[in-house]
Chain A
Amino acid sequence: MILDLHTHSEASEDSRAPVETYLKWLVRKRDILPIDGIVLTEHRQWDTQADYRGLEDTYGLLILRGAEVETDYGHVLVYGVNADITRRFDFTNVRLSAQELIPAVAEMGGIAVPCHPGRPTIGLCEHYEHKPPIEGVVAVEALNGGSRRGENERVQQLIDRYDYRAVGGSDSHLVSFIGICATEFDADIRSTEELVAALHRTEYRPVDFRERLKSGA
């Protein structure tokens, strides 16, 4: 099962991509982008009312939700957001403590995954150069579709040194970038709870469709 674990819709202030248009695009590009679903990870927010079940039924794609929050070790994707987590952590705060967030999210039933670790200032690699490693990191986003040259490549050293697992995501803010990078799971995933469980315990790997898109194959 292949999911794009890092996407932004027009709910994020720097994206103009409607969720439905993402799905239409994926259906149209199915032969090149074999994506089974997406996880909406909006910046610094959590909407308790958002409901995409109708779109899931219409387009036959899984739509899950998480969030991208900002910490003192860079940006982090949070999956399995629930009321306990949002009561404890203000997602609008751009100075959350990663040492506190990551273990606490796990205790409260979710999982927090540092994203674009190779990116300057907001990626884990740079912070690990002068700060202690974060307790409880299970996986990092090794493949980010919005990263610049060299940024994804920096992450391998991090993964090797700390034995982190690797995920992939597009970090799409435009419709045409959805699914360009994603995560392939061996497990079948049908809910946020199953996603969290899969990220903790099962086999998965980042997948890169950018060359396929360029060649149109």
Chain B
Amino acid sequence: MPLEFDRAIIGTEFDRTVFAPISHEEILEYADASGEPLPPADGRSPMAPPTFVLRIRGRRFMPTNLPERVRTAFDAGKDIEFGARIRVGDVLTAVSTVHDIYEKTGRSGTMAFLVLRTVVTNQAGESVAVIDQKMMVR
């Protein structure tokens, strides 16, 4: 059954979250769980492994005004552009928008894809990451 999306939601911001300062404990917990090595020390405050940024999830993971079926969507993939490294003490802001919507067919049948873009910046206004997440809705 096709999923009807109102394409007018493309470009709309659905979440803006400012996070508490990043702690060393959070970085260590993530590195241990992911198996990613900690980046080498560079004389400044400790850095997080690159994919730590995927942990930066706002209060709202999706726009709220979507069909219920979207709540059980699957992660279909990500495009991540990395910027400034995340360090202990950083205060990060994540702004999420609906970037695109399209439809295609695959092994799972006809699927709608919702692309959500999250731009993460730090307290200095530097881009930390731009993450495009593709959510697949059957």
Chains A and B touch (C-beta atoms under 8 A apart): yes
Task: Out of A74, A94, A119, name the residue touching B104 (CB < 8 Å).
Answer: A94
Looking at the assembled complex, report how far the CB atom of B75 sits from the nearest CB atom of chain A, in whole angstroms.
14
- Which chain B residues border A119 with CB–CB below 8 Å? 107
Whether the pair A44, B104 counts as a contact (CB closer than 8 A) is: yes
For the residues of A in contact with B, the DSSP-based class is: loop
| A163 beta carbon closer than 8 Å to chain B | no
List CB contacts (< 8 Å) of A104-146 with chain B: 119-122
Q: A44-B104, A70-B104, A94-B103 are in contact. Are A14 and B109 (CB under 8 A)?
A: no
Number of residues of chain A lying within 8 A (CB) of chain B: 13
- Which chain B residues border A65 with CB–CB below 8 Å? none
| B125 beta carbon closer than 8 Å to chain A | no
Whether the pair B105, A70 counts as a contact (CB closer than 8 A) is: yes
- Which chain B residues border A43 with CB–CB below 8 Å? 104
Whether the pair B107, A121 counts as a contact (CB closer than 8 A) is: yes
Q: How far, in whole Å, are A121 and B107 apart by their CA atoms in the complex?
A: 5
For the residues of B in contact with A, the DSSP-based class is: strand
Q: How far, in whole Å, are A95 and B109 apart by their CA atoms in the complex?
A: 11
List CB contacts (< 8 Å) of A58-75 with chain B: 70, 74-75
- Which chain B residues border A122 with CB–CB below 8 Å? 105-107
Task: Out of B77, B107, B110, name the residue touching A120 (CB < 8 Å).
Answer: B107
Total CB contacts across the A-B interface at under 8 A: 23
| A13 beta carbon closer than 8 Å to chain B | yes
Whether the pair A75, B105 counts as a contact (CB closer than 8 A) is: yes
- Which chain A residues border B109 with CB–CB below 8 Å? 121
Q: How far, in whole Å, are A179 and B102 apart by their CA atoms in the complex?
A: 29
Looking at the assembled complex, report how far the CB atom of A53 sits from the nearest CB atom of chain B, in whole angstroms.
30
Q: Closest residue to A119 on the B side, CB-wise?
A: B107
A179-205 interface code vs B (CB 8 A; 1 in, 0 out): 000000000000000000000000000
Whether the pair B102, A13 counts as a contact (CB closer than 8 A) is: yes
Q: Closest residue to A44 on the B side, CB-wise?
A: B104
Q: Closest residue to B113 on the A side, CB-wise?
A: A13
Whether the pair A94, B110 counts as a contact (CB closer than 8 A) is: yes
Q: How far, in whole Å, are A74 and B102 apart by their CA atoms in the complex?
A: 18
Q: How far, in whole Å, are A70 and B103 apart by their CA atoms in the complex?
A: 11
- Which chain A residues border B103 with CB–CB below 8 Å? 94
Give 6 A-B pairs besides A75-B105, A122-B105, A122-B107 with Cβ atoms closer than 8 angstroms: A13-B102, A43-B104, A74-B105, A95-B110, A119-B107, A121-B105
Q: List 11 A-B contacts (CB under 8 A).
A: A13-B102, A70-B104, A70-B105, A74-B105, A95-B110, A119-B107, A121-B106, A121-B107, A121-B108, A122-B105, A122-B107
Q: What is the interface of chain A, defined by CB distance below 8 A to chain B?
A: 13-14, 43-44, 70, 74-75, 94-95, 119-122
Question: Which 8 A-B residue pairs are closest in the complex by CB-CB distance?
Answer: A70-B105, A120-B107, A94-B105, A121-B107, A94-B103, A122-B105, A121-B109, A94-B104
